[in-house]
Chain A
């Protein structure tokens, strides 16, 4: 497995062109080759969602892609959300609603919510539940996460928001 492929991915607006084995998973490329450790993994069957990123505008589980499949594409990871040192409105809402405890699932959870709000600025509770169905959290019981996404939706789009 010594042969390597040249893989070019734009991550959080920065172009990364690195060599990696063709069988390398995207999550490992992001974590170990590029060194952005904020994206995590917690399973081997694409069930937990800890590895969720946004790729070309849609949420994606980075453990289900090979890095080569992401060649030429645009990726946003958790590190790409905050504006400088300030949390963005979604991140701030997570803190205010206590939507994270151990934080291990949080990067993936936030990225799923981020992708949801990008497509549906005023999701209903049911739509929020569906939006994070692929993200397992063992700490929060999801209720505060749903509240955080509602609060963020209201803040981002005061006219929209959910009942």
Chain B
């Protein structure tokens, strides 16, 4: 047997080990769980945006054959052991301990009891022997509502006399945050030109194809609640359930093994995660609730809706001296979601990829009678990048400069990394100009500029857009569940197989494959001998969940270092077994051998058997077993904000240079993407196949948000996109031809050099396409100030510019 290390698995496009089960139809998701005597839950949701609840009468519903029980908000409050939903992710009213941000909370229960505050808010539940009957029973529930004036628009919500959503608050502002650096006033005094814009980013969301589902099974004999939930934060949900259902001695076991896509929407604490367990506790029977798509579109978080009042102080040569931005986010009702964290993040990252020394961001999270606002792939950074990338092009237009030139002039240069941004984060590494140049080369700008001139001569509108977006990943916030560490337990069993228990969860990212590559290399075991158990709150170490692309940054590091700890211990045991000092041993090919004497070898399973079964043979003072618990603390973050709100709360900074050519049809407003280029840098690539998949998938979300996806509301607060018939996801037909390239600038803060890979793609398309559209419509003098770039919107801009016709 050769003792030479085999070629590494890390860095190669290994197909995923997760796939065969899925492809055979054997994979089981939350809604597939079947338990004996299980009952089915249906939820009655508010049809009104804002109203006082006068009464909820379940009697007719309960009389329907097959209906077992029901529950109202008033009944929940009378139970005596149910608390309001605890806040998430911030557990503190003052998370940075600086009085900034300031946050108001509200005591929402799992069912509304006093008022309803958005269409889709849960009001009552019915339980029946099957789902059809439960849904029939919904029609028999009688709810009496006294309508209140709906608050829909964030500007209206801020007006002094506005109706308040929460009567004990003095206004509709849930969060206020300020962050600043440098001397903004001086920068504005020094400027040659000040460019002011109001830019709006539209409300849209992630819509995983798997809707949410909760299964709860309370076993009174052992006071144990087994909970299956479609969540990205299973451990936190366990804690939040314990906070909320205050039954002494209650044990909670959360299972979140296979989730059908998350994208941030499953990064929140949802009322059904209390409601369904409560119903199981009350009936002592297993309960299942599966969200319908219609419920999902109003009862599951939305994202992105922000208005930026932004000003830039610039020199005539295009140098950006300073930026001020007042950000108003329309965050819907005040639910326990990641929405607040996401808008704070926007305030932090408006400076984007640019060396802007003077900056002031003010963020307001304004509550309205819309669906609560939360995380979505790109989390606050997408909005920030859209605004700054638009702004760069607006500045260029004002100064009559080439936007590419303006970008070059202001980029953080490669030799400035690690770069401390004006708002505190430490950007790990990057080569922005090189990436943009590469994108422009792949686009073939000269060719398209010529094509643009020809088109113009024919009265057609062709445009070229560029952008360079950053997607800070692996976030941390003090006083919240995302606390900047990652834990993993790892065991080499007596057969030499390696079991890995990470503290995160997988929504399709392929963690089992990536972990098997990392562990396979570190411990020289085969890919198939690495067993990953993830998404079990009692088997796995506590963890803050899966979000912010943190697996590829802190998760992989924890896995690697845990494997090294096991390797170290195995080597020491081998040293005793082989009677040879550890320094002269070779760890390869599933065994440890003496260097130069391959016949003197012990296999990993022989070593493991000594560790488990012959502890008396172990070196002096060594614990038995071959198992470790490793906690990795992110070195590139900080927990304390300073007095100006600056804090390093993200640790790795992947980015994407994009360039696109579009044609806009003046008669219809239709936009066609003629060419699209992305040059992505997410550091070293653990598995290029998975990285590409993540990036293309993220780009699809970006195209959706840029072009199609929108969650509009009527004046009355009625959602106007509540199904896939009126909320348009890109299909296979809408994906443009893409040229995709990578450059690899390693992350210097982690052993693998990886950065987040799955979110950057969502950030660029809104910016690059808006920039391209504006370039196309330059002859008409049109400015693009909102998303999505629907034909209706572009057509109305063109009409306006042409004087109505």
Contacts and interface: CB of A to CB of B under 8 A. Distances in A.
A96 B23 CA distance: 12
Interface string A12-52: 00000000010110000001000011111011110110100
B732 A132 contact: yes
Contacts of A105: 209
Chain B contact patch, size range = 35 or more
Contact of B25 (A39, A94, A96): A39
A82 interface: yes
Nearest to B22: A103
A21 B131 CA distance: 12
A150 interface: no
Interface stretch (B248-256, B320-328, B721-729, B793-801): B721-729
B793 to A, nearest CB: 23
Interface residues of A, number: 56
Interface stretch (A66-74, A135-143, A154-162): A135-143
Given A43-B724, A129-B732, A138-B261, A87 B23 contact: yes
Interface string A104-120: 11110010000000000
A140 B697 contact: yes
Interface string B198-211: 00000000111111
A126 to B, nearest CB: 9
B597 interface: no
Nearest to B761: A141
Contact of B510 (A96, A101, A133): A101
B214 interface: no
B15 A95 contact: yes
Interface in B1-53: 15-16, 18-20, 22-29, 31-32
A98 B293 contact: no
Contact of B731 (A79, A81, A110, A133): A133
Contact of A95 (B20, B29, B690, B698): B20
Contact of A38 (B25, B208, B699, B724): B25
A153 interface: no
Contact of B24 (A21, A79, A128): A79
B693 A104 contact: no
Contacts of A132: 731-732
B294 interface: yes
A4 B133 CA distance: 14
Given A42-B211, A44-B293, A144-B693, A103 B263 contact: no
A24 B131 CA distance: 11
A128 B732 contact: yes
Q: Which of A104, A110, A129 has the most CB of B within 10 A?
A: A104
B132 A24 contact: yes
Contacts of A87: 20, 23-24
Contact of A110 (B23, B724, B725): B23
B723 A102 contact: no
B29 A141 contact: no
A130 B136 CA distance: 37
Contacts of A102: 208-210, 259-261, 507-508
A138 B701 CA distance: 8
A37 B132 contact: no
Contact of A104 (B18, B206, B209, B723): B209
Contacts of B735: 141-143
Nearest to A112: B732
A44 to B, nearest CB: 5
Interface in B711-731: 723-725, 729-731
A43 B15 contact: no
Contacts of B136: 1
A141 B261 contact: no
A59 interface: no
For the complex of A and B, the 3 pairs showing the least CB-CB separation, nearest first, are: A38-B25, A102-B508, A104-B260
Given A42-B210, A98-B15, 18 more contacts: A1-B132, A1-B133, A24-B132, A42-B293, A43-B293, A45-B293, A47-B723, A50-B209, A77-B25, A82-B23, A95-B20, A98-B692, A103-B260, A103-B508, A104-B508, A136-B729, A138-B697, A142-B735
